Amino acid sequence: MSSKFAGEKTGASTHITIEDINRLPTINRSLSDITKLSPYANGSGFGGRDQRMNNYSIDGANFNNSMGLDGAVLPGGGNPISIDALDEIQVSVAPYDVRQTNFIGASVNAVTKSGTNQFRGSGYMYVKNENLRGNEVNGEDLGERPEERRNIYGFTLGGPIVKNRLFFFVNGEYENEPKPMHKWKLSADGTEDVEHLISRVTDADMRRFSNDLKTMYGYDTGSWTDFSGGTNTYRAMARMDWNISERHKLMVRYNYTSQQKDNNVVGVALNINGAPVGRYSMTFRNSTWKQLNNVNSLTAELNSRLGMMMNNKLLVSFTFNDGNKRECNGDFPTVDIMKPDEGGTNRAFMNAGYDQHALRNGITEKVWAVTDHFSVQIGAHNLGTGFSFESQDVSNCYMRYGAGYYRYASYDDFVNRMAPVAFAMTYSLTGEDRALSPVHYNQFSVYAQDDYNVSSRLKLVYGVRMDIPFYVNKRYENPSITGYDFNGKALSTGSWPKATPLISPRVGINYDLLGDNRLKLRGGTGLFTGRFPLIFLSKMQEGSGILQTTVSTTTVGDPLLTALAGSIRMPQQVLQEIAPQFPDRFPTEPGAVNNIITIDRNFKMPQVWKTSLALDYQLLLPFKADMTLEGTFIKDINAILQQNVNVIALDDPKMSTFSGPDKRYRYPGNDEKYIHPEITDAMLMTNTHKGYSYNLSATLHMMPVKGLNLMTSYTYTCSRTLSNNQSNQIWGLETGSFCTGSQLPGFT
């Protein structure tokens, strides 16, 4: 790795060179594989923080998954650029350069390769299969290894277009990973065998179901034995560098990623017993779905020398992410057939139709950004100032049960067109097929900084940054929600946070203790402003009751289920034939909802206070070796807090405590714990100052012989937070908590 004794380094950061990238063995050939060289890395997260609160940039231009769906930190399926296109990477956990922002965990900036006066190229192929992994775990033989394969083919080419003036570099890559969507097989006699992945469903069962769907409704289910699939990814990068003159240099880069991934049927519906595929149930090929991700990114950078001591850098970028699109073959409602198991419990038996989560699902992200940095050298001071503006226009469409959902108690009920035992359907209230949940977020920033060489041994960097986030969104106000009172709190789905300036002062030092660059003290302190997954804001729009509504029932004897007897209807048929009979159940105007998501008017972007201190020591050995001891403390200033404000307060008479030594609070059961029983979740996203994390690390680098680079690091991380929500849903905090207890009012 490059020397960490460069005078400009103050905070906690890791510089990864092209030599490091080429030498490091990688499993997934992804950016995350390389950033693990940072001692603060843990998977895709850094310093014990949510991986979605990192900021990734390519050549200085932001390159993030703004929505944060499925925990991915990068767009395009999480790996949008080939590591063969990268020249170096910087991972900064606590940098005191005020130009770096939009992160709580770490800032990861990758620089792409460029052409030179020499033509250079490469072709490569990487193969991974079952023969490259072991066959035992803790001495236990895992048996025959199933076939698996992953192939990557690519090339790079760079050189001059006009010698000394105009250069190009291109990279293309194709990745193919065949993988079955599931490995369950049909039974010969109707008996399941979990150990050998044999379902109780037989070939005759599936054939009969498929034929009846074709005869009764003209729906083609596809195969019930072929579930081959996999992932295909195309990546391309093209860069051009133009030396316009001695004073001006222009760089233009374009990135493209396209990924298609086959997926099995997802999840279960309306508390059904059993998954769509498994020991009790099977599905068809045309019920599986393809996930499509496409990313286009264009960046231009102009570097200008305006005088002997003045420089300017202008960076403009645009990214279009058309991602998470889901497609099935053929439109038809989701159908579940039930059948009792050996114990008499009625369980899912066969599944057909459009995956309940897939119809019209998808996101789009359009991100424009412009940044300008001006610097001037005045004696020992390098003064810098600049501004940035970023506009994010994102939208999400998620209409669970968008194709309709029908569940039948038995196969005979289905064939005889009896009433279903469960029904669900989501439809748009906007007049459009897709009920898009838009979020338009802008941020304007200004900063000023001084890099001050106090002496040959001491460097000081100090500056201040101001970020002003503001929202330009249509207000989807639902009056039926506004009228509720939650212990003095009134919620509004049409209220967006105020434009509140966030100030981030920082100071860092680098001091050569001995004057010979062998022992250095560095560190600093300052505030950092980050982002959060915009899916939380999109969900607020989606759940407002303004854009779409869901009708569902599993109630025995429900007249709606009785009316649905006769045939399976497409959603438009239901709205035309059934909805007029139940106008209260099928609203055409915004109405009450039982799951509310809102955001506090005074909500602020996440902000933390980071402090770090480190010693870098160059060891007295006959070969290159150095050691670092470093500590970092991070205190939350404005952390995200997500609360269900519909839950009664701790001093409510209905509350009690456990008897004996355990005096924890005990909530009443059923609907008694809610302020308004007709509402389940009333989630409010606000801020808290509670939460902190700290990291202690010791790192040793050695190069005992030429070509051998050794690094070992030990890091201890402790993190305490109130809202570590890794879900795409705000209420996922309660159902997927990382600690004992729920984030309910009073437990903060």
Residue 606: strand, helix, or coil: coil
* Nearest of 628, 635, 596 to residue 613 by alpha carbon: 628
Say how many domains are in the chain. Answer: 1
d(CA 544, CA 561) in angstroms, rounded, equals 26
CB 678 within 8 A of CB 594: yes
d(CA 629, CA 566) in angstroms, rounded, equals 73
The tens digit of pLDDT for each residue in 132-162 reads: 878 888 888 877 777 888 999 999 999 999 9
CB 65 within 8 A of CB 144: no
Report residue 744's pLDDT band, with 50, 70 and 90 as the boundaries.
very low
* Nearest of 242, 239, 374, 372 to residue 299 by alpha carbon: 239
d(CA 419, CA 160) in angstroms, rounded, equals 72
Q: How many residues does the chain have?
A: 748
Write down the mean pLDDT value for the chain.
Answer: 89
Give the mean model confidence (pLDDT) for residues 472-490. Answer: 82
> CA 180 → CA 77, 147, 257, 350, distances in Å?
18, 10, 23, 19
Taking the CB of residue 21, how many other CB atoms lie within 10 A of it? 20
Which pLDDT does position 742 carry in this prediction?
A: 46
Residue 515 lies in a domain: yes
Report residue 727's pLDDT band, with 50, 70 and 90 as the boundaries.
low
The range of the structural domain enclosing residue 740 comes to 13-113+146-161+168-399+434-543+597-643+681-747
Dihedral, 534, 535, 536, 539 alpha carbons, nearest 10: 130
The amino acid present at 158, given as its one-letter code, is: G
> CA 461 → CA 334, 384, 467, 502, distances in Å?
61, 11, 20, 20
Residue 179 lies in a domain: yes
Residue 56 lies in a domain: yes
Of residues 711 and 472, the one with the higher pLDDT is 711
Which pLDDT does position 148 carry in this prediction?
A: 85
Of residues 601 and 731, the one with the higher pLDDT is 601
Residue 638 lies in a domain: yes
Q: Residue for token digits 């497409």?
A: 570
Give the H or E element holding residue 535: helix 535-542
Report residue 339's pLDDT band, with 50, 70 and 90 as the boundaries.
very high
The tens digit of pLDDT for each residue in 673-713 reads: 898 888 888 888 999 999 999 999 999 999 999 888 899 99
Give the mean model confidence (pLDDT) for residues 166-178. Answer: 97
The tens digit of pLDDT for each residue in 225-247 reads: 999 999 999 999 999 999 999 99
Report residue 269's pLDDT band, with 50, 70 and 90 as the boundaries.
low
Which pLDDT does position 456 carry in this prediction?
A: 92
Q: Tell me phi and psi for residue 49, to 5 degrees.
A: -110, 160
Which pLDDT does position 586 carry in this prediction?
A: 94
Whether residue 435 has pLDDT greater than 70 = yes
Whether residue 338 has pLDDT greater than 80 = yes
The tens digit of pLDDT for each residue in 179-195 reads: 999 999 999 999 999 98
Residue 190 lies in a domain: yes
d(CA 4, CA 10) in angstroms, rounded, equals 10
Report residue 594's pLDDT band, with 50, 70 and 90 as the boundaries.
confident
Min mean pLDDT across 96-100, 379-383, 394-398 is at 394-398
Give the mean model confidence (pLDDT) for residues 368-382. Answer: 96
Report the phi/psi class of residue 362: left, alpha or beta, with left for phi > 0 and alpha for psi in -120 to 50.
Answer: left
Of residues 372 and 723, the one with the higher pLDDT is 372
CATH at 96:
2.40.170
d(CA 268, CA 356) in angstroms, rounded, equals 9
Of residues 340 and 724, the one with the higher pLDDT is 340
Min mean pLDDT across 4-13, 23-32, 366-375, 637-646 is at 4-13
Instruction: Determine what percent of the chain is predicted with pLDDT higher than 70.
Output: 94
* Nearest of 36, 91, 1, 38 to residue 695 by alpha carbon: 38
> CA 615 → CA 46, 195, 399, 512, 569, distances in Å?
20, 55, 54, 10, 70
Residue 574 lies in a domain: no
Q: Which two tokens stand for residue 452?
A: 């001050």
Report residue 743's pLDDT band, with 50, 70 and 90 as the boundaries.
very low
Residue 582 lies in a domain: no
DSSP 282: B
Report residue 351's pLDDT band, with 50, 70 and 90 as the boundaries.
very high
Report residue 70's pLDDT band, with 50, 70 and 90 as the boundaries.
low
Residue 660 lies in a domain: no
Instruction: Determine what percent of the chain is predicted with pLDDT higher than 90.
Output: 60
Give the mean model confidence (pLDDT) for residues 370-382. Answer: 96
Q: What is the pTM of this model?
A: 0.89
Which pLDDT does position 745 carry in this prediction?
A: 47
Which pLDDT does position 559 carry in this prediction?
A: 96
Which pLDDT does position 249 carry in this prediction?
A: 97
Q: Which two tokens stand for residue 79?
A: 């790996």
Please enumerate in sequence order all residues whose Cβ is within 8 A of that of 87, keeping only pairs 6 or more positions apart, or say none: 18, 111, 112, 113, 114
Q: Which two tokens stand for residue 384?
A: 């810098």
Report residue 728's pLDDT band, with 50, 70 and 90 as the boundaries.
low
Cα 298–chain centre separation: 22
Which pLDDT does position 740 carry in this prediction?
A: 46
Which pLDDT does position 458 carry in this prediction?
A: 95
CB 86 within 8 A of CB 111: yes
The tens digit of pLDDT for each residue in 520-556 reads: 999 999 999 998 888 888 888 877 788 889 999 999 9
* Nearest of 611, 591, 603 to residue 687 by alpha carbon: 603
